[in-house]
Structure 1
């Protein structure tokens, strides 16, 4: 079960739920999220085969879908809870289809995907198990589930929820939960997955160059990626 983020929160921003938060963030999302947080981590993974057909869960503005296509994935179907994010993904044009749905109940066809991917989503989930179960349902035998997100140690050390600043200068957080690696392991194994790869990235020179204030966090794990095989 997730650790209560409130005990670590160093910002105290007003908290929005996922749907409202991302609807309000959509205009500046692409300018805010650094590829080093997720896409660069995905690029370092060795277990996945970036090919075939993929389900992009919590596809957002289409960043991940575009990256997958660039790696050689032939077809990507996207699912997201926020209409405003899906509209941006549609403009980007990387997805074969886009669907407004909860990632725990996507409505996509069972056993249809070589690859299921979720990026920067697990911290918004109160319970990881529905995500892992849905990914397992979607994957073909031998298929992979790849999930990457903020490392729980970073969330705790930085006291930093997922957050954004509006054009008017208002700061908002989006509902954030802390899931330890053991929570992912339990959810994955309990859903029938086999762990194929686990990668952690720490704050180093590249991150400090992007965000000089993170010097105090140097050496702290910032991202975690899990590769599961059905």
Structure 2
């Protein structure tokens, strides 16, 4: 009998496997465009909890009347209605997949949705947001660590950033370095960091993330 520990982890769906296997932005965009219609059903069946779990940190550190909140990498907008239910009335979103944004728009929770790519210049002025939320985006083959620089830029002094990072890329993809650099430059200060936890409650036991909360200095 083969050792199950040596077997590759089972993926929740072929679509998820294509996302993990994407070798560039074009392939990743195509994978999400093809998956958009079934994304919610597939990920929720696997126990995907990040769009909801991260709201605990948002509600802990961001007052509902603080100002606009950015759902960065919002995908199909799973977080939007639950942010709205918690009293956040001004929610904006970004994603690089227009197919996913089209579904997010139908949820009626976002004041504005923009197609944009983390790691590139974002289409908002300095200090526009009271807070940003970014979950499930800083993972293998997705947004680079440099995306944090722009997210910090468009968050106002005293504002909050809540984001998750896949444990396997925290050091290798430069996230530790970017976080430390922003701290050393006085851009933000750490509020809290979670221990690693599962992004999927049912499937994908190998997918662990940490949640990070930072406050912008002003």
Same fold (TM over 0.5): yes
CA contact (8 A) 1:61 1:86 kept: yes
Match in the other structure for 1:18: 28
- What is the TM-score when the length of structure 2 is the normalising length? 0.73
Match in the other structure for 1:184: 175
Segments of 4+ moved more than 4 angstroms: 8-14
Match in the other structure for 1:30: 40
| Cα 1:112–1:98 shift into 2, 3 Å | same
CA contact (8 A) 2:118 2:144 kept: no
Q: CA deviation at 1:71?
A: 1.9
Residue number among 34, 38, 49 corresponding to 2:62 in the alignment: 49
Match in the other structure for 2:210: 224
Q: CA deviation at 1:202?
A: 3.5
Give the number of aligned pairs. 187
The Cα RMSD (Å) is 2.9
CA distance in 1, matches of 2:172, 2:62: 23
| Cα 1:221–1:100 shift into 2, 3 Å | closer
Q: CA deviation at 1:20?
A: 1.1
In the alignment, is residue 58 of structure 1 matched against residue 80 of structure 2?
no
State the SS of the aligned residue for 2:211.
Answer: strand
Unaligned runs of 5+ in 1: 1-7, 153-177
Match in the other structure for 1:39: 51
CA contact (8 A) 1:200 1:221 kept: no
State the SS of the aligned residue for 1:136.
Answer: helix
CA distance in 2, matches of 1:187, 1:101: 21
CA contact (8 A) 2:61 2:160 kept: yes
Residue number among 147, 153, 165 corresponding to 2:163 in the alignment: 147
Residue number among 142, 149, 155 corresponding to 1:133 in the alignment: 149
| Cα 1:91–1:146 shift into 2, 3 Å | same
CA contact (8 A) 1:80 1:101 kept: yes
CA contact (8 A) 1:57 1:79 kept: yes
Match in the other structure for 1:202: 197
Note the 1:57-136 alignment, pairs <5 A: 57-104=72-119, 105-123=121-139, 124-125=141-142, 127-129=144-146, 131-136=147-152
